[in-house]
Amino acid sequence: MSDYRIETKCVQGGYTPGNGEPRQIPIIQSTTFKYATGEDMGRLFDLEASGYFYSRLQNPTCDMVAAKICEMEGGSAAMLTSSGQAASFYAVFNIASCGDHVVASSAIYGGTYNLFSVTMKKMGLDFTFVSPDCSEEELEAAFRPNTKAVFGETIANPALTVLDIEKFARAAHAHGVPLIVDNTFATPVNCRPFEWGADIVTHSTTKYMDGHGASLGGCIVDSGKFDWLAHADRFPGLCTPDDSYHGVTYAEKFGLGGAFITKATAQLMRDFGSMASPVSAYLLNLGLESLHVRMPRHCENAQAVAEFLEKHGKVAWVNYPGLPSSPYYGLAKKYMPGGTCGVVSFGIRGGREAASRFMAALKLAAIETHVADARTCCLHPASTTHRQMNDEELAAAGVPGDLVRFSCGLESKEDLIADIAQALERA
Ligand SMILES: *Cc1c(COP(=O)(O)O)cnc(C)c1O
């Protein structure tokens, strides 16, 4: 499947049925798997043979869908998680723990920011947040001797900043650490971060990949390119024996291509258990089958909406990386020549109150804590998802108080623009 184009991988990746087998991915709705002898199962426990024994660690349906996303991203191994939050947590915690430090872009999803700056901080990890627009020198200054990873979002939710993946990868690699990129908004249809030097990719599959607001999920993909053994003293968890798993040394036993995901499965999924359900994986796969058809339409609608808003007198500013007026237009054209995402953010003249009148007047677009859905939805982050942030933090994250996030669905763009026009009149 690896020689095929992204469209073919979306439709047929991850599962090739044999003669007489189901055409659609089978839902293996079973917690456990049967073996003839204790020795047979023992080999699985020792990671000597691959197979399934308990669905908290691995399930065949989930693995087929993970394999499809792995092919779409051009990675070496992948795993599903129960949510995007779990994917972000596992991807970082797999290589950084108490006493370690991570450099992260300040323009990231609010939930990820909270995970890093509050919850993981309580676990003893330290994060330095840098502007995605920082100079190479500012980025350089953020590193410490105990830095274990760099983290950013291809297109930040909701700031819509575009990450200069090559700049962040260069800095990470100069310090012997991997670059982890959350590719949720661009999806592998529009951007494949591994082609630009990223080492690990995460997803909230809840967004465009599912695309229908049907099932929560996450995914971690490893490029298989980061050489853990070349930096063995920095990554003892991958390069020294794991006493909690029969003394296995992941980087030696599973090589560059398999070490990261095997460790995250054998340790983190075993202990934290944020596993995707087989039914959720099945629903996610239905979404993936049309992702390459839906993404261009989301982008076309967003482009039309952004251009309409930019010309409207009641709109103070518009932020969409597909607009030539965007400071990220150049980076977007470089990393995502086929389009960025369906989300547009803008400010309404009259600030917070005008924004709520606008939201209340919308008919097609629903107020939801969601983006990237087939149905258009919108949100005022400062009063909802980002309300735990103070004004300074909001500004640093690129989410000013008057920002409305508008996620263009798959409806007619003429109908969407008409809805926005009548709601602006009443703002
Ligand atoms: C939604 C989102 C997440 C969190 O994903 P959940 O599936 O809601 O847990 C992480 N990153 C980005 C960019 C997101 O948009």
Decide: helix, strand or coil at residue 281: helix
The pLDDT of residue 397 is 65
User: Cα–Cα–Cα angle for 380, 385, 390, nearest 5°?
Assistant: 90
**Residue 85 alpha carbon to ligand 1 centre in Å:** 6
Ligand 1 mutation target, pool 112, 155, 204, most atoms within 8 A of CB: 204
Q: Say yes or no: CB of residue 345 within 6 Å of ligand 1.
A: no
**Residue 205 alpha carbon to ligand 1 centre in Å:** 8
Burial readout 17-40 (b: 16 or more C-beta within 10 A, e: otherwise) = eeeeeeeebebbeeeebeeeeeee
Task: Specify the DSSP element, H or E, that contains 70.
Answer: helix 60-73
d(CA 85, CA 356): 28
pTM metric for this prediction: 0.96
**Residue 21 alpha carbon to ligand 1 centre in Å:** 34
Q: Say yes or no: CB of residue 112 within 6 Å of ligand 1.
A: yes
| Termini Cα distance of the chain | 51
CB of 362 within 8 A of CB of 404?
no
Q: Say yes or no: CB of residue 83 within 6 Å of ligand 1.
A: yes
d(CA 418, CA 364): 10
Specify the ligand 1 atom closest to the Cα of 86.
9
Compute, in degrees rounded to 10, the torsion defined by CA atoms 67, 94, 205, 420.
-150
Q: Say yes or no: CB of residue 319 within 6 Å of ligand 1.
A: no
CB of 75 within 8 A of CB of 226?
no
Q: Say yes or no: CB of residue 133 within 6 Å of ligand 1.
A: no
**Residue 174 alpha carbon to ligand 1 centre in Å:** 29
Q: Say yes or no: CB of residue 154 within 6 Å of ligand 1.
A: no
90 φψ region: left (φ > 0), alpha (ψ -120 to 50), beta (else): alpha
CB-count burial class (<10 Å; 0-12, 13-18, 19+) for 272? middle
Give nearest CA residue, ligand 1 atom 15: 157
d(CA 216, CA 328): 29
d(CA 307, CA 323): 7
**155-168 tens-digit pLDDT:** 999 889 999 999 99
Q: Say yes or no: CB of residue 111 within 6 Å of ligand 1.
A: yes
Q: Say yes or no: CB of residue 184 within 6 Å of ligand 1.
A: yes
Q: Say yes or no: CB of residue 284 within 6 Å of ligand 1.
A: no
CB-count burial class (<10 Å; 0-12, 13-18, 19+) for 198? buried
| List of domains in the chain | 14-286 (3.40.640.10), 294-425 (3.90.1150.10)
Q: Say yes or no: CB of residue 75 within 6 Å of ligand 1.
A: no
d(CA 383, CA 405): 12
Q: Say yes or no: CB of residue 358 within 6 Å of ligand 1.
A: no
Q: Say yes or no: CB of residue 105 within 6 Å of ligand 1.
A: no
* Helices vs strands, H then E, count in the chain: 18, 12
Per-residue pLDDT of the chain (427 residues; tens, 9 = 90+): 778 999 999 999 999 999 999 999 999 999 999 999 989 888 888 888 888 999 999 999 999 999 999 999 999 999 999 999 999 999 999 999 999 999 999 999 989 999 999 999 999 999 999 999 999 999 999 999 999 999 999 999 988 999 999 999 999 999 999 999 999 999 999 999 999 999 999 999 999 999 999 999 999 999 999 999 999 999 999 999 999 888 999 999 999 999 999 999 999 999 999 999 999 999 999 999 999 999 999 999 999 999 999 999 999 999 999 999 999 999 999 999 999 999 999 998 987 778 888 988 999 999 888 899 999 999 987 777 777 777 677 777 667 777 899 999 999 999 999 999 999 999 8
β-strands 200-204, 179-182 pairing: parallel
**106-116 tens-digit pLDDT:** 999 989 999 99
